[in-house]
Chain A
Amino acid sequence: MSVLVYTENWDGKFKKSSFELVSYASKVAELVNTVPVALSIGKVDRSELEKLGKYGAHKIIHATGDQMDVFDAGLFAHAIADMAIREGATVIILSNSNSGKALAPRLSVKLKAGLGSGVSKLPLSISPFTVYKRAYSGNAYAHLTIKTDIKILTLVQNSFELIEKNGTPVIEEVTLHPDGSGVKIRVTDVQKQTGKVLLTDAEIVVSGGRGMKSPDNWGPLEELAGLLDAATACSRPVSDEGWRGHEEHTGQTGKIINPNLYIAIGISGATQHLAGVSSSKYIVAVNTDKDAPIFEVAQYGIVGDAMKVLPRLIEAVREIKAK
């Protein structure tokens, strides 16, 4: 018996979200009276694998093999399912990330396991196994009961704290054997953002809307983001106009994020935009319109002109960072 947690790696490295997953899996394992086992696919150094032990993993399976260089959800799900069966996993946890969302439903079918995706808390109950997840694009939460013997959960990034535990995990090397049908997917090009803080990883996000008036005004916004080690984001009209890249669009049909702090500059707060950011722990809004809907969800607000307020905010942040 075990709780299996799939920890994706990026060029052989884990991220904070990986440790959140292991912390979460450890807690779930306690609740179902078993132990957490981490599964990593692809080459990762021992010292990096051991980090997972710091967050409670009892055993870490280091799985490597041919045909696992390109992300093919079918092949990866096949490998994870095999490991889940081998480890007698009754609960399988993945991240609600691009890859997690691609893998979880395939695993669900393979293992005849009900899936609760986008959970942000520990299960509300174990018997019945009920989880709490976002519904109606953030306008409600659903209590979802998973009726099958094996359960799969995908955990939202930045929704569960890191819990350190002492322990020396066992690291097991496993060689994956390629599936008979082989890889169908071939990568022909990759475009990566370099240098910038990834929007989905960022703890602080500074975002601009139409109230910024022009793409030429983004300098101070980027400066504020830089000082806060924040990622930059934008509302849909801004990305549609081409003022900012599509990867910055946060909202219902763009990215859904839940940073610790979301600073919305010149964003009115249309329903579709809020669907992307309403789970943020803190929302700060700067807008010239005191009745802008964004102020209904913000904890802190400034009614004012972004162009005047931003330089003052920058100065204030510089001051406190200097201390």
Chain B
Amino acid sequence: MRVLVCMSQVPDTTTRVKFVDDNKKLDTSGVQWIINPWDELSLTRALELKDDVNTGVKSVTLAHVGLATSEPTLRKALAIGADDAIRVNADPVDAFYVASQLAEVTKKDPYDIILCGIESSDHNGSNVGGMLAELLDLPSVSGVSGIHITGGQIQISREIDGGREMVTLPVPFVAIVQKGIAKEPRIAAMRGIMMARTKVIKVVEPVAAKAYTEVTGFELPKPRAACRFIDPERPKLLIELLQNEAKVI
């Protein structure tokens, strides 16, 4: 079976977020780019499945929509262990545009399991995975916290309100994954880093596609008032404030 891991590149989680161009774009000076955390976990799980000969997973390919500036991040993902990568040479302007490009990539060369992270830590959209599934007319399972393959059967655990369901379905499908899919992201070993240099990143030009949405500006959260400290010897005061001032209890 062939697995496709869709990945995006995002600013490191501890980046001090600032905007330029009249607050229309992120200030990328000094930003460290990383693999979107959920995509990194889905890549890890894909590789774990490939490592187990009984699963039938033979290859793990990365798919990414981004400009040449994303290649270092793609190389990191290859170093972690993906077999090859496909980069659609385009600015990922919106989720529908990205999903349309990814759909084109897979239509030409179908995969059995397509993994998408539930969201990217920059746009927090939760859009691409579901859009891709619909464009490809494939079933999708969301909130996936585990994928297991035993005896040819695929068992997926997905989060539901107040619990978890185990489901099974035949390939091909799209799994939109979240926390739990892998315990921790796999780290690239020295050998992986060396091998990554010769792995193929196939670059393809984008097809014509629309963007349905556009970010017209960003704002920073309003500065918060300073914390009011309450004497630890008199916590009753806190409860009274919560009741009478904040009115939350």
Interface, chain A (partner B; CB < 8 A): 10, 70-74, 77, 96-98, 101-106, 108-110, 112-118, 128, 130, 133-148, 154, 184-193, 198, 200-201, 203-204, 228, 246, 249, 252-254, 260-261, 271-272, 275, 278, 281-282, 284-285, 290, 295-305, 308-309, 312-313, 315-317, 319-320
Additional A-B contact list (14), CB under 8 Å, known A203-B248, A320-B249: A71-B160, A73-B140, A96-B126, A101-B143, A105-B95, A105-B134, A118-B125, A137-B13, A184-B169, A272-B13, A282-B246, A299-B246, A302-B232, A308-B232
A-B contact pairs, 20 of them (CB 8 A): A102-B143, A104-B126, A108-B131, A109-B135, A115-B125, A115-B212, A130-B216, A135-B218, A136-B17, A137-B13, A139-B221, A140-B219, A193-B163, A246-B180, A300-B238, A302-B231, A313-B235, A313-B238, A316-B235, A320-B243
Q: Which residues of B contact A254 (CB under 8 A)?
A: 179
Is the pair A147, B235 in contact by a Cβ cutoff of 8 Å?
no
Report how far A112 CA is from B14 CA in the complex, Å: 36
Are B212 and A319 interface neighbours, CB within 8 A?
A: no
Interface residue? B202 (CB, 8 A): no
Chain B, residues 9-26, CB within 8 Å of chain A (1/0): the string is 001011001010000001
Cβ–Cβ < 8 Å partners of B165 in chain A: 187, 189-191
Selected from B96, B125, B138, B164, the residue in CB contact (under 8 A) with A190 is: B164
Interchain CA distance A140-B122 in the complex, whole Å: 9
B37 x A186 contact (CB < 8 A): no
CB of A137 within 8 A of CB of B121, answer yes
Nearest CB in chain A to that of B234: its residue: A312
Residue contact B129 to A105, C-beta cutoff 8 Å = yes
Give chain A nearest CB distance to B65 CB in angstroms.
16
Closest A residue by C-beta to B143: A98
Instruction: Give, as a whole number of angstroms, the nearest-CB distance from A101 to chain B.
Output: 4
Count B-side interface residues using an 8 Å CB cutoff.
83
Knowing A249-B179, A296-B227 are in contact, say whether A105-B168 is a contact too (CB < 8 A). Answer: no
Q: Which residues 106-148 of B have a CB within 8 angstroms of A? A: 118, 121-131, 133-135, 137-143, 145
Q: Given A105-B134, A302-B235, check contact A228 B249 (CB 8 Å).
A: yes
Residue contact A198 to B213, C-beta cutoff 8 Å: no
Task: Verify B219–A143 contact, CB threshold 8 A.
Answer: yes
Q: What are the residues of chain A within 8 A of B162 when measuring CB–CB?
A: 192-193, 198
Instruction: Quote the shortest CB–CB distance from B25 to chain A (angstroms).
Output: 11
In the assembly, what is the distance between CA of A302 and CA of B241, in Å? 13
Contact status B95-A115, CB under 8 Å: yes
Given A137-B121, A246-B179, A302-B230, does the pair A102, B213 have CB atoms closer than 8 Å?
no
**How many A-B Cβ pairs are below 8 Å?**
272
B83 CB-CB contact with A under 8 Å: no
B214-245 near A? 1/0 per residue, CB < 8 Å? 11111111001101111110011011111100
Q: Contact at A185–B134, with CB atoms within 8 Å?
A: no
Task: Say whether B176 faces chain A, with CB atoms less than 8 Å apart.
Answer: yes
Segment 199-214 of B: residues with Cβ below 8 Å from A: 211-214
The answer to whether the Cβ of B68 comes within 8 Å of any Cβ in the partner chain is: no
In the complex, chain A residues whose CB is within 8 Å of the CB of B159? 98
Q: Do residues B127 and A108 form an inter-chain contact, with CB atoms below 8 A?
A: yes
Residue in contact with A108 in the complex, picked from B96, B122, B173, CB distance below 8 Å: B96
Specify which of B38, B127, B219, B221 is in contact with A117 (CB 8 Å cutoff). Answer: B127
Residues A106 and B140 in contact, CB atoms below 8 Å apart: yes
Measured CA separation A255–B247 after assembly (Å): 25
Question: Separation in Å of the B144 CB from the closest CB of chain A?
Answer: 10
Q: Which B residues form the contact surface with A (CB < 8 A)?
A: 11, 13-14, 17, 19, 26, 37-38, 41, 95-96, 99, 118, 121-131, 133-135, 137-143, 145, 155, 159-170, 173, 176, 178-180, 211-221, 224-225, 227-232, 235-236, 238-243, 246, 248-249
Tell me if A105 and B126 are in contact (CB < 8 A): yes
A115 touches B213 (CB 8 A): yes
Task: For the complex formed, measure the closest distance between the CB of A72 and the CB atoms of chain B, giving whole angstroms.
Answer: 6
A106 touches B246 (CB 8 A): no
Separation in Å of the B136 CB from the closest CB of chain A? 10
Kindly provide the distance from the CB of B109 to the nearest chain A CB, expressed in whole angstroms. 21
Nearest CB in chain B: distance from A37 CB, A: 23
Q: Which of B125, B164, B235 contacts A312 (CB 8 A)?
A: B235
B142 A133 Cβ-Cβ under 8 A? no
Q: Which of A72, A133, A253, A309 has the most CB of B within 10 A?
A: A253
Task: Return chain B residues, CB-CB under 8 Å to A249.
Answer: 179
With A72-B139, A102-B176, A272-B13 known as contacts, the answer to whether A97 contacts B161 (CB < 8 A) is yes
**A residues near B227, Cβ cutoff 8 Å:** 285, 295-296, 298-301
Q: A193 to B165, alpha carbons, bound, how many Å?
A: 12
